[in-house]
C-alpha cells in the first residue's frame, strides 16, 4: 500500500510538481499577509469556490472520459491489427510459393512498424525497409498504405494466375481491408484532437480556481490553507495532465499505449509462422512501464 502511495514512476507528479509548488507558495504568502497585515486582507467567502469546484469537477470528468475513449479506441484498433495479421498468417497457408508468402508476411511487419512511426510523427521508411524485399516499392506519401497495396497486388496476381481460389483471394483481401481500417482509425484519433477552445477553457479555469482558492482558505484555516490548497491543486492539475496524455495515446509518454510491445508481438507471430528460431524476445516493462 505504501509503495503505491509514494511511487512516482507512471504517475503524473513530475509533470505538475512545479505548478503545485507555485500554488502552495502563493497560499503560504497569502496566509502570511493575512496574519501580519489583516487590514490589507479582504475576507473571501468559500461558497463561490464550492460551486465553481463542483462545476469544474463535472467539466473535467466529461473531458477525461472523452480522452480515455480515444485511448481505449486506439488500444482496440491495435488489438484488431494483431487479429488481422494472425488471420492473414493462417489463411495464407494456401499460397504454395513459400518465398512469396514469406515476403508478404514480412511486409505485414513492415506495415506495423511504419504505422507505429507514422503515429509518432517519425520517419516510416527506415523501419519498414528492414522488413521489405529489396525491390519492394516504398511510397513516400503513405508508406503503410503502399505496403498494403503491394501485398494486395500480389494476392490479386495469385488469384488471376489460378494459384489461389477466388474465395481465398477474397478472404485475404478482407484482412488487408481490416488493416487499412485500423490505420484509418488511428489516423483519425491522431489527427482529430479535442476542440481547442474546449481544452483551453478548462486549463484557464483550473489555473484561476487554484490561484484564487488560497484567498478563501487563508482566514478560516490559517497555516493549514497551503496544505489543502496543495491537495486541491494536485487533483485538478493532475487530472488535467492525465487527460492531455490520454488525448494522444500514440506517443512516448508513460501512460501512452505500449505500441512497441504490440509491434514486437506481431514480429514474433510472423517469424514463428515462417519457422524462424530463436524468436526476438517479447518486450518487458522497464521500471514498471511498458513501451
Q: What's the rounded Cα separation, in Å, for the pair 250 and 188?
A: 12
Least confident segment among 44-48, 83-87, 164-168, 202-206: 44-48
Amino acid 102: pLDDT: 94
For every residue of 218-254, DSSP letters joined together read HHHHGGGHHHHHHHHHHHHHHHHHHHHHHHSTTSSST
Residue 201 to residue 249: CA distance in whole angstroms: 22
Which of 82-96, 159-173, 183-197, 216-230 bottoms out in mean pLDDT, i.e. has the lowest? 216-230
The tens digit of pLDDT for each residue in 210-264 reads 988 888 888 888 888 899 999 999 989 998 888 888 999 998 888 889 999 999 9
Whole-number Cα distances in Å, 133 to 88, 128, 136, 227: 19, 10, 5, 62
Q: What is the mean pLDDT of the chain?
A: 88
pLDDT number for residue 269: 95
pTM for the complete prediction? 0.87
Between 38 and 71, residue with greater pLDDT: 71
What nine digits make up the cell of 38? 489583516
Q: What are the extents of the domains in the chain? A: 14-36+45-273
E runs forming strands in 75-169:
none
Closest CA to 273 of 125, 86, 146, 132: 86
Q: Residue 24 corresponds to which cell in the numbers above?
A: 502552495
Highest-pLDDT range among 78-82, 124-128, 247-251 = 78-82
- Cell, residue 280: 526476438
| The pLDDT of residue 6 is above 60 | no
Q: pLDDT tier at 8 (50, 70, 90 boundaries)? A: low
pLDDT at 215: 85
Amino acid at each position: 500500500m505504501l509503495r503505491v502511495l509514494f511511487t512516482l514512476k507512471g504517475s503524473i507528479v513530475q509533470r505538475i510538481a512545479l505548478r503545485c509548488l507555485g500554488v502552495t507558495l502563493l497560499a503560504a504568502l497569502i496566509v502570511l499577509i493575512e496574519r501580519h497585515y489583516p487590514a490589507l486582507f479582504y475576507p473571501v467567502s468559500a461558497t463561490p469556490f464550492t460551486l465553481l469546484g463542483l462545476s469544474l469537477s463535472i467539466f473535467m470528468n466529461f473531458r477525461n472520459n472523452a480522452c480515455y475513449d480515444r485511448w481505449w479506441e486506439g488500444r482496440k484498433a491495435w488489438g484488431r491489427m494483431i487479429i488481422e495479421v494472425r488471420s492473414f498468417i493462417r489463411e495464407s497457408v494456401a499460397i504454395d510459393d513459400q518465398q512469396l508468402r514469406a515476403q508478404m508476411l514480412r511486409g505485414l511487419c513492415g506495415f506495423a512498424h511504419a504505422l507505429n512511426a507514422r503515429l509518432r510523427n517519425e520517419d516510416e521508411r527506415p523501419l519498414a525497409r528492414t522488413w521489405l524485399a529489396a525491390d519492394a516499392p516504398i511510397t513516400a506519401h503513405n508508406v503503410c498504405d503502399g505496403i498494403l497495396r503491394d501485398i494486395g497486388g500480389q494476392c490479386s496476381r495469385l488469384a488471376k494466375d489460378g494459384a489461389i481460389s477466388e474465395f481465398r483471394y477474397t478472404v485475404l483481401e478482407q484482412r488487408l481491408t481490416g488493416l487499412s481500417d485500423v490505420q484509418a482509425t488511428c489516423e483519425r484519433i491522431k489527427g482529430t484532437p479535442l476542440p481547442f477552445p474546449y481544452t483551453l477553457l478548462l486549463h484557464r479555469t483550473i489555473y484561476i480556481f487554484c490561484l484564487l482558492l488560497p484567498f478563501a482558505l487563508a482566514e478560516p484555516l490559517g497555516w493549514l490553507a497551503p496544505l489543502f490548497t496543495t491537495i486541491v491543486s494536485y487533483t485538478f492539475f493532475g487530472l488535467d495532465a492525465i487527460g492531455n496524455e490520454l488525448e494522444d495515446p500514440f506517443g512516448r509518454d508513460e501512460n501512452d499505449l505500449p505500441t512497441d510491445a504490440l509491434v514486437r508481438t506481431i514480429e514474433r507471430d510472423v517469424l514463428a509462422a515462417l519457422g524462424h528460431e530463436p524468436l526476438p524476445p517479447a518486450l518487458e516493462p522497464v521500471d514498471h512501464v511498458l513501451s
